[in-house]
Structure 1
Amino acid sequence: MSSEMNSMLKTPAPTPMTDRQSRQTQKSIVTVLSVCLTAFLLGGLVCYLAMSGFKDSAEASAASGPAVGKPRGPQAQLVRVGSVQRKPILPTKTLVGDLVAVRSATVATEVAGKVLILPVDEGSRVTGGETLLARMDDTWLKLEEEKITTQIAEKKATLSFEKSDLERFEKLFQGSAMSASEVEQKRSLIEGHEASLANLRVLLDEANKRNERLEIFAPFDGSVVAKHAEMGEYLPIGSPIVDVVSTGRIDARIMVPEESLPLLHIGDSVDLLVAGLNMELQGKVFSINAQGSVGSRTFPVRIELDDQDGQLLPGMGVSVFVPVRKESTELLVPRDAVLTEPDESTIWILQPNSKTGVQPVANSRQPDKGPSLVAQPIPVRVLSHTRESYAIACVREQDRERVREGVQVVTEGLERLIPGATVRIDDDRSELSAVPGTYRTGQQVVD
């Protein structure tokens, strides 16, 4: 009994808090062991895959053979090119002007009255002498004609009576039964009736002429551009009805500076561009106005054009290319070959690459045979230009031998070149189109 009591005193009984801590410790140990085992398995898998890839790469390298002494060249830039030419050039500059109608008229009524018919509207095409623009009411004009006709008949009857009475007066005068003054008075009365009759006949002719002008026709071939009256409206004499402008021929009107005026002559052909219609035309100088603007020192010049079946309309803008200097022979390059800047312009010429004998290409599995080409920038000065070309001169003396007739210059793709860049000429002459994420030149879009 005493021994059992001693044993109980030496070994204390476990409390509930001690059991909970023991279970948490066991869970922690199991979790750590699980994580370590998982990491070990994943590491082994990664090592296996890495060794397999290295083995495949080594086998492929061995199969392809050693590449010692054959370093891979830089990727070539794809460009399009033109050539330097030495040709006569007539320098031009662009002057902006307007298209104006050759003839324009405000058609008015010559007869007062109500508008009975008005068959045209704005934009209507009309034919000179054939297209009816308006018809006026003839009611009052007909009444006036009848009135004048009646007055003429009455005046004729009175005149006939007075003439017969004059014959009687003359017989009495011969018999000394009538004084001379009475006879002269009768003759004066007859002359007054004859004058009144003539006046009535003039009034009748005037009424007939007005009757002929009740119908108003187009004065020339053209188009109605404005309408000033409506059907049923009463118009006094001289009231405007419609505005008409001519068609068929149209003129371009520009203001030419005084320094370019001696280079233009009546009948000269000039090139024009109607930007709104994207239409290129050629016209002839029709007139040069001798009265210029004192403030701007420019002179009005009109150029004769065909209206292209009504496509060219008055008020459209037009660009005219007029000469600024006499013809001369210069080095010419395409306009797209020149990068123009405020201080200095640049062209990019192609030269053989002395470092390599093979031209690298974008897809370099099988390089093209032939000399490799590199692009080099050349600073130039633009002397003058036409619509397609620039006349240039080299800024540096040492570049004059490099820029000569026949040398290739980059026309498309030059914006992304650097000095000495290897290039490949694109033989496809179709128009370039931008792909998503790039500009038209191929440069990436940066947000």
Structure 2
Amino acid sequence: MLRKSGPTELLNQRFLSTLLSCSLTTFLLGGVATYWAVAKWSAPIVSTEGAAARPAGKGKPPARAQLVRVGTIQRQSIVPVKALVGDLIAVRSATIATEVAGKLVALPIDEGTEVIAGKTLIARIDDTWTNLERDKIMTQIAEKKATLAFETTDLKRYEELLGQRAVSLSEAEQKRSLIEGLQASLAQLNVLLKEANERISRREIYAPFDGSVIAKHTEVGEYLPIGSPIVEIISNGRIDARMMVPENSLPLLSTGDSVDVVVDSLGLELSGKVFSINAQGSVGSRTFPVRVELDDRNGKLLPGMGVTVFVPVMQKSTELLVPRDAVLMQPDESTVWILEPKESTDASKAPPDVTSVSNGGTPHSQPQWVAHPVPVQVLSHTRQSYAITCQREADRSRLAPGVQVVTEGLERLVPGALVRVDSDSSSLESVPGAYRTGQQRVDR
């Protein structure tokens, strides 16, 4: 059976229904009000000045000119070069060895020690036994001299007796032979004495040329036989750059020619002279060793450093040249961006010139330019320029001497972009996370 609701329960149900209806109505009205407020405040605020300045019938303001730096196309005679990797090598290198046997009693140098030819003591060998040998030889010489003096006097007496027929001729000849033997023995002892004195003088070893010690092969207290290595020394002052030159570039090089050399680790740009061209090349790579004479810059250039040497690859020719930064190298083709004056058919609709301030503080106008990409082919290059030619015959008249090409900022250009030339010619410095041109690096 169904239970009938009482008056109190009916009143509670009506109250709850009314409360739910009011809550739902309030929620819906609040949502409408919020939507209206957001739509109102998010609408763009257009000032009367901006509306007046905007050209009629245009929905967007005029495009802003991008700031770039430029170079100029030139026609010059060049000698195209090629960068070859080489190494710095010492002009002279020697392993210093002992010429006398004995115990090493002094070694006052270490690896890295600077030495001076004929002045820096490298090592000293014990001379005790050599001095004793010299004294022994000197004693034998004194004995031989005394014997020779006696026999010489006795020979005179024999010659007198021979005249009196008191001695035979054979006895006199025997005395002369004995004296000649003593003279030969004395001469031999003098040679041995000279040899001993020479060994004593060579117990002290000095540097044979100016340079630096790069290795030690012994220590104090070791007994060294004749010919034992002590240290290794390399020369300083002059240093050579050695690289392997391809056979097609070899006829373009001659002894005495000047070439540009860059020391990679130090960032030094030097000019050196070709010192030697080795006639024996590598059969496998068809390259030949070439040495370029350089100065070591007071020890800054060290053997083993890597260098880049620029050698010619063809004879001098006249080409169209652009700065290296003006060529945007891509896998499919290379591109240069040329600047052409902005043309306008309606002066009233043309955007105004860009206004800038000169160094003196006087405002002046700079004309706007339009950047256009031109596909090119790189023929050759020097250290500062690329020799180019047009890929399309229609662009040949556009690439002419005197035409401006973009060198800084070309990575962010699009065809037909408005640009203005930066009058500041100071060099740009790269910042962390950016290329030298200022373009931000993007990690992919």
Aligned to 2:275: 286
Residues 26 and 176 of structure 1: CA distance in aligned 2, closer, same or farther (over 3 Å): farther
Confirm whether residue 208 of structure 1 aligns to residue 201 of structure 2.
Answer: no
Which residue of structure 1 aligns with residue 181 of structure 2? 192
Corresponding residue for residue 409 of structure 2: 413
With over 3 angstroms needed to count, the CA separation of the structure-2 counterparts of 1:187 and 1:26, relative to structure 1, is farther
Change (3 A) 1:238 1:250: same
CA RMSD of aligned residues (A): 3.3
Equivalent position to 2:56, from 63, 69, 77: 69
Q: Structure 1 340/50 Cα, relative in aligned 2: closer, same or farther at 3 Å?
A: closer
Q: Which residue, out of 130, 134, 157, partners 2:119?
A: 130
The CA deviation at 1:297 is 3.2
Which residue pairs with 1:6 in the alignment? none
Structure 1: distance between partners of 2:354 and 2:254? 54
Q: What residue is the counterpart of 1:357 in the other structure?
A: 350
Residues 207-226 of structure 1: pairs in structure 2 closer than 5 A: 207-226=196-215
Unaligned runs of 5+ in 2: 357-362
Paired residues of 1:434 and 1:442 also in contact (CA < 8 A): no
Identify unmatched segments of 5+ residues in structure 1: 1-9
- Identical-pair percentage: 58
Q: Compute the displacement of 1:390 (Å).
A: 0.5
Q: 2:433–2:441: 8 Å Cα contact kept in structure 1?
A: no
> Given the alignment, which residue of 106, 109, 115 partners 1:117?
106
Give the alignment of 1:25-424 within 5 angstroms: 26=15, 30-31=19-20, 33-41=22-30, 43-44=32-33, 47=36, 50-51=39-40, 57=45, 60-61=47-48, 65=52, 67-69=54-56, 71=58, 72-355=61-344, 357-358=350-351, 369=365, 371-424=367-420
Aligned partner of residue 226 in structure 2, secondary structure? coil
SS in 1 for 2:70: strand
Instruction: For 2:17 and 2:260, locate their aligned partners in 1 and report how far apart those are by CA, in whole Å.
Output: 92
SS at match of 1:242: strand
- Following superposition, the deviation at residue 203 of structure 1 comes to 0.7
How far did 1:301 drift? 2.2
Count residues with an aligned counterpart: 430
SS state at 1:287 partner = strand
CA pair 359-265 structure 1, distance change in 2 beyond 3 A = farther
- The secondary structure found in structure 1 opposite 2:192 is helix
Structure 1's 23 and 239: CA in aligned 2 closer, same or farther, altered over 3 A?
Answer: farther
Q: TM-score normalised to the size of structure 2?
A: 0.86
Q: Hey, what's the Cα distance between the residues in 2 that align with 1:63 and 1:222?
A: 76
**Counterpart secondary structure, 1:130:** coil
Q: Is 1:127–1:222's contact at 8 Å kept on the other side of the alignment?
A: yes
Give me the whole-angstrom Cα distance separating, in 2, the residues matched to 1:435 and 1:205: 72
Q: Does 1:445 align with 2:438?
A: no
Question: CA-to-partner distance for each residue in 1:237-266, whole Å, 9 max, x for gaps?
Answer: 111111111111111122223332232222
- What are the superposed Cα offsets for residues 126-170 of structure 1, whole Å, 9 maximum, x if unpaired? 111111111111111111111111111122222223233333433
The separation in 2 between residues aligned to 1:436 and 1:104, in whole angstroms, is: 45
Higher radius of gyration, 1 or 2:
1
SS of the residue 2:214 aligns to? strand
